[in-house]
Chain A
Amino acid sequence: MSGSNGFVWTKAAVIIWAVLALCASDAVAQKPQFGGYLLLDKRFVRSGEKVRIADFYNRLRLEMSVDPGSQLSLFASLEARFYDFSPTGEIRQLSELSFQYPTDLSIWEAFVDVRGFLFSNVDLRIGKQRIPWGTADGLNPTDNLNPDDFSDLVDFTRKVPSWAVRADIYLGEATLTGIWLPGVRPVLLPQGLQELFQVPLQEKGWKMRLKLPERTPQNSMMGLKLSARLDRVDLSVSYFRGYDDIPAPRGVYFAPGRTEYLFILPKIQVLGIDFATEAGGAGIWGEAGIFFPEELRFFYKSIGGLNQSYETIYLPDDPYMKFTLGGDYTFPRGWYVNAQWMHGFFVERGKNDLHDYLVLALEKNVLGEKLRLKLGGAVEKAGGVNGEAVYGYGFFPELVYREVDNLEISLGGFWTDGDPGTLFSAFLDVDQVYVRVKGTF
């Protein structure tokens, strides 16, 4: 965010935050609780033969929660993402703080919880919130309610909270959850890496326009989930009707001196099922989403000159299934192993374009639990152009040091390689080493 528009939003966010805090402290007997963290982040990115220091954001998160009554809770958090490098390119901008020190500010979460709404077994949560679905460890094909947060590729399983109304009805051991999301939110992408999402015939300089669905009740999104337990197995079935948060190309306009791609968010319905249990001390989980996409046609329009147009099918309406199967185990002496097989990454769609990923993590705490060693890695298998299998690889080691409470220092890496056609091959230019310092309060 930059410029005057960004500054207005910044002020608005601060005012909302201040009003919430003030209301909470004045209106209720119970004092609000404040907390949050400061995360300082440095990225050293390999770019060809060079290593550059990326202009990656740092984060300040402020959180406030209060219980004005036995049935009511309020929670709000404010996130400021501030950058270290100035994008200043003109002398006149040297007097503008927002150019010299860019900051993105947003209300990250803000919701009201009502416990026992109308009936003692009904809870309601209204507002901007994170709604996690699924039992897999971060790789959740049924978790489609919130858009993906790919702003940090190292932490690609994050999601952005969305405005929603959520009702949980507790029926003994079972829970029925209903969600309504009035708005449709697209994915949050990393700065300067928008081209990671490939489109046919993409060339630099071509305009890429995104058309979001009309803001009508018919276009709002909804989800239903029933969770229950069968002996030692936790089970749930879910249904989601809404939009894929990853833009898909809808068409391209060719005009003299101007070429424009049009993107939309495709409509999808997802029938989900997941389970979690354990056997012999090992955790076992599985999650599958059957996606029912609407047929997506891609048009070519030539305006002026030949004035031609035609359409092809970009995504057929054939259902396809994404799934994740996984397990974990803690061995004696504290070795923790986590393995997951994912069929179909978040950005993949269509039954012929789903890759397989084997994701492994090995963790061990040493030095009296002050130092955590983590070795993460992934192997990707995809169908190549000629039908032959192509492979991609990722390696994600991390050291986390905790000398004192509330302070965490991390040193990690993100390296990928792969054959053309694999997802990992798209990240070759973002291989990086990161250093993070996180202080929590």
Chain B
Amino acid sequence: MTFLLEPIDEPGNRSRAVLLLIRTNRRTASGASRNPALGTERSLPGAEKWPGLLKEMNRWKRRWLAVVLVGLLVVPAALAQDGEAVLAKIDSVLEAPHDMVALQKMTLIDAKGSEKVRTVKIFAKGSRLRLIRFLEPAEVRGVGFLRLPSDRLYLYLPAFRRVRRIASSVKNENFMGTDFSYEDMSQTSYRKDYSVSAFWKEKGLLVLELMPRKGRDVSYGKLVLYADPATYVLRKVDFYDRRGNAVKILTIDRIEKIGRYWTPRRMEMRTLKTGHRTLLELVEVKYDQGLKDRFFTQRNLKRIR
């Protein structure tokens, strides 16, 4: 499977990878040490005779066909296996910190260029626990969002002093007017929701095409992840809807190592249809603050500022 790590400069797709595997198998077939049977047949005596030649050609056709079929069957699985390994590494980078407390500035920019700024404080642990508090602007100050395992979502509205459970159907919706959906805001592990359907390298980046796993309740029909091959830090994500249309693009830059963890300082999510985009800048981050699971409660949702 080393072929997969060979550079492929053209934009990747599944058929190109299949062709590469076929070439790999042909090279292997010519080496007697890897397949003695093939080597023996190539050296059959009397091959110059027409009937024998035709017979030999038929054999070759059958073998080629077999190789191609095997390739078609095996390659996606093989690709996926390798892609899954890369995805596991990407996830492990995303999930590496035990917990995180971050101050983020979100700038909402519409197609005409007018801007709105949101500031949020995020407390996160693993992929399942999130507590987000809005600090600015004034109209949403104090609003809190809590995500607990099993997709239990709660919203705290300080004007009503009420914690309200919200249905997970809201996951597809934009989070407080940003281009990030509730699902995007809480996505830190891709493996549980998506499987790798294709994998290639492009412009020095590892590229994974992800499809939703059967039965998983996700809003996107396809994701394409671009990751740094050295650090496995995500650099870009293309989001597609269920009909295969590209809907959003997330670009990630200014990646720094903060403490022991690679951290993107700046992300931009762009909605293709409207041209609206959200620039998310990491103002401050602290890792491994020892947040316990019991920190992520309605008690703290109402209180933490």
CB-CB contacts below 8 Å: A121-142 with B: 123, 129-132, 135, 137
Contact A234 B165 (CB under 8 A): yes
Contact B165 A283 (CB under 8 A): yes
A131-B161, A369-B174 as given contacts; A283 in contact with B274, CB under 8 Å: no
Interchain nearest-CB distance for B128 vs A (Å): 14
Contact A232 B167 (CB under 8 A): no
A368-B110, A406-B139 as given contacts; A232 in contact with B274, CB under 8 Å: no
User: Which of A243-251, A315-323, A327-335, A351-359 sits within the interface?
Assistant: A327-335
A130-B161, A281-B167 as given contacts; A330 in contact with B173, CB under 8 Å: yes
Interchain nearest-CB distance for A335 vs B (Å): 10
CB-CB contacts below 8 Å: B204-222 with A: 217
User: Which of B36-44, B254-262, B297-305 sits within the interface?
Assistant: B297-305
A232-B152, A405-B116, A405-B117 as given contacts; A170 in contact with B299, CB under 8 Å: yes
Contact A276 B169 (CB under 8 A): no
Chain A contact residues, majority secondary structure:
strand
Contact B165 A276 (CB under 8 A): yes
CB-CB contacts below 8 Å: B158-187 with A: 160-162, 164-174, 177
Closest to B117 in A: A405
CB-CB contacts below 8 Å: B115-171 with A: 116-117, 137-139, 141, 150-152, 160-162, 164-171
Contacts of A131 in B (CB 8 A): 161
Contact A123 B168 (CB under 8 A): no
A440, CB-defined interface residue at 8 Å: yes
Contacts of B177 in A (CB 8 A): 369
CB-CB contacts below 8 Å: A160-188 with B: 168, 170, 175
Closest to A408 in B: B139
Closest to A279 in B: B167
Contact B139 A283 (CB under 8 A): no
A35, CB-defined interface residue at 8 Å: yes
Interchain nearest-CB distance for A253 vs B (Å): 42
B89, CB-defined interface residue at 8 Å: no
CB-CB contacts below 8 Å: B272-305 with A: 274, 276, 297-299, 303, 305
Interchain nearest-CB distance for A159 vs B (Å): 9
A234-B165, A283-B167 as given contacts; A168 in contact with B299, CB under 8 Å: yes
Contact A281 B169 (CB under 8 A): yes
Contacts of B303 in A (CB 8 A): 73, 113, 115
Distance of A278 Cα from B153 Cα, bound (Å): 10
Distance of A67 Cα from B141 Cα, bound (Å): 16
Contacts of B111 in A (CB 8 A): 368
Contacts of A368 in B (CB 8 A): 110-111, 274, 276
A282, CB-defined interface residue at 8 Å: yes
Contact B141 A132 (CB under 8 A): no
Contact B141 A35 (CB under 8 A): yes
Distance of A35 Cα from B137 Cα, bound (Å): 11
A197, CB-defined interface residue at 8 Å: no
Contact B110 A281 (CB under 8 A): no
Contact B169 A330 (CB under 8 A): yes
Q: Mark A247-267, 1 if CB is under 8 A from B, else 0.
A: 000000000000000000000
Beyond the given pairs A278-B165, A283-B166, 17 more chain A to chain B contacts, judged by CB atoms under 8 angstroms and listed by A's residue number, are: A35-B138, A37-B139, A115-B303, A123-B299, A132-B162, A232-B152, A281-B217, A285-B165, A330-B173, A331-B169, A368-B111, A368-B274, A405-B116, A405-B117, A406-B138, A440-B137, A440-B138
5 CB contacts below 8 A, A to B, read A130-B161, A132-B161, A330-B167, A405-B117, A440-B137
Q: A-B pairs with the 9 shortest C-beta distances?
A: A283-B167, A281-B169, A440-B139, A405-B137, A330-B169, A276-B165, A440-B138, A132-B162, A130-B161
Binding site for A on B (CB under 8 A): 110-111, 116-117, 137-139, 141, 150-152, 160-162, 164-174, 177, 217, 274, 276, 297-299, 303, 305
